[in-house]
Structure 1
Amino acid sequence: MSELEARKFRYPTTGTESLLMGILIEVCTRLTLIWSAGTGLVAKFLLANGITLFKLREECVKLLGQGERSFVSPMTPPLTEDAQRALDWAVDQKLKSGDGGEITTIDLLLSIWSEAESPGHKILAALGFNDDKAKELTSLSSEPGFVDG
């Protein structure tokens, strides 16, 4: 989903802002499909904090602008350095936790937040996400019986 968002914006790379849009598309899709059965923690958390895909896209254009109209991105826009670091951070954190589970949308969201100079971090901050919210999300995800999905 992140790569598709990068291509829609005609960005030559997939950055943390694209990863963030991919997360929101994923959680919004889950929210639509399984609202009555409950939904993932990230979807509820982001929506409760007023962070929507529409607002994210607006902030993305404010920060990075729209890509060149004539630019056609490759099928798979390569990751930026900060996006690669964010993904590596998520993997490292999962390995350190020792739970052996899959990397979740929470892991990805927190990894984007960990890249303080990245566009994704700046966009989250502009939308009201901060260290306290990151701690709250971490705390919620560490509760017994937590399932991100």
Structure 2
Amino acid sequence: MAAQSLSTASTRITRPEYNHTNKYVPTRNALGPPSLQNSWFGSIAIKLSINFSNVRPFLPKYPPIKAAVSFSLPTAKPEPDASTEKFPKWSSKAIKSFAMGELEARKIKSPTTGTEALLMGILIEGTNFASKFLRANGITLLKVRDEIFKLNGKPDLYFFSPEHPPLTEAAQRALDWAIDEKLKSGDNGEITTTHLLLGIWTQEESPGYKVLTALGFNNEKAKELHSLISEPGFVD
């Protein structure tokens, strides 16, 4: 009985009505607007004045996202002619270590990205060979950070680093050394975080070198690493 009543009510709602002149009088459907495919709807379509070309989905309007991914690191050295010499590429772990180092420079409120920040970036990335070698020799991120604060003092609470702290001259030379060393090897592999670590070690007046020295890194360990990266096919 209830089903029959519902069916009847539905029929009354959707049934077209006529006036005394036998002309169709559109009625509002309580269950929703009439379909555009309804044969009765054609007579009033012009009166609706709907501009369908301007109808857009009801989605939140967000500005387009533009992202750029860098597959290299800053260098003061121009890339050689591809026809005469193949320029080596940085490994993905080295690029990530650099990005983490830049972020750490901001965390410690440094105005620049120095060798000490690059060293922290290597350790934060964590999966590269250089970071494993450092941890195996007792050089951890916490110890490095403590040595940096001993060397440079506590950061100013009200100072804010730029979004991309520029490289110091020593940090730039460390990157360039890593590139040169890879070019000298003649190997077609990538420049790794181990190259970057040894580049930091070559900058004897830099904070990164001083932190490594304070934590027990020395020339013997540097030679051990250098012999490893000299082997063909060495990867992070």
Q: TM-score range by the shorter chain?
A: 0.7 to 0.9
- TM-score (structure 2 length as normaliser): 0.55
| 1:31-60 deviations in Å (ceiling 9; x for gaps) | xxxxxxxxx432331111001001110111
Of stretches 12-21 and 136-145 in structure 1, the one that deviates more from structure 2 is 136-145
SS in 2 for 1:129: coil
Change (3 A) 1:58 1:46: same
| 1:79-127 deviations in Å (ceiling 9; x for gaps) | 1111111111111111111113221010000000000000000000000
Q: Are 1:10 and 2:109 matched, yes or no?
A: yes
Structure exhibiting the larger radius of gyration computed from Cα positions? 2
- Which residues of structure 2 form unaligned runs of 5+? 1-99
Q: Are 1:97 and 2:196 matched, yes or no?
A: no
| One-letter amino acid of the counterpart of residue 136, structure 1 | E
| One-letter amino acid of the counterpart of residue 101, structure 1 | G
What's 2:16 paired with? Answer: none
Task: Using the aligned pairs only, state the percent identity.
Answer: 69
**Counterparts of 1:109 and 1:102, CA distance in 2:** 14
Count residues in correspondence: 137
Of stretches 56-65 and 97-106 in structure 1, the one that deviates more from structure 2 is 97-106
| One-letter amino acid of the counterpart of residue 67, structure 1 | P
Q: Pick the aligned partner of 2:199 from 106, 111, 123.
A: 111
Q: Pick the aligned partner of 1:87 from 164, 175, 182.
A: 175
What's 1:146 paired with? Answer: 234
- TM-score (structure 1 length as normaliser): 0.86
What's 2:210 paired with? Answer: 122
| One-letter amino acid of the counterpart of residue 48, structure 1 | A
| One-letter amino acid of the counterpart of residue 84, structure 1 | Q
Question: 1:143, CA displacement in angstroms?
Answer: 3.9
Report runs of 4+ in structure 1 exceeding 2 Å deviation.
140-147
Say whether the 8 Å CA contact 2:178–2:195 is kept in structure 1.
yes
Say whether the 8 Å CA contact 1:10–1:66 is kept in structure 2.
no
What's 1:36 paired with? Answer: none
- Which residues of structure 1 form unaligned runs of 5+? 31-39
Q: Highest relative contact order (Cα 8 Å, sep 6+), 1 or 2? A: 1
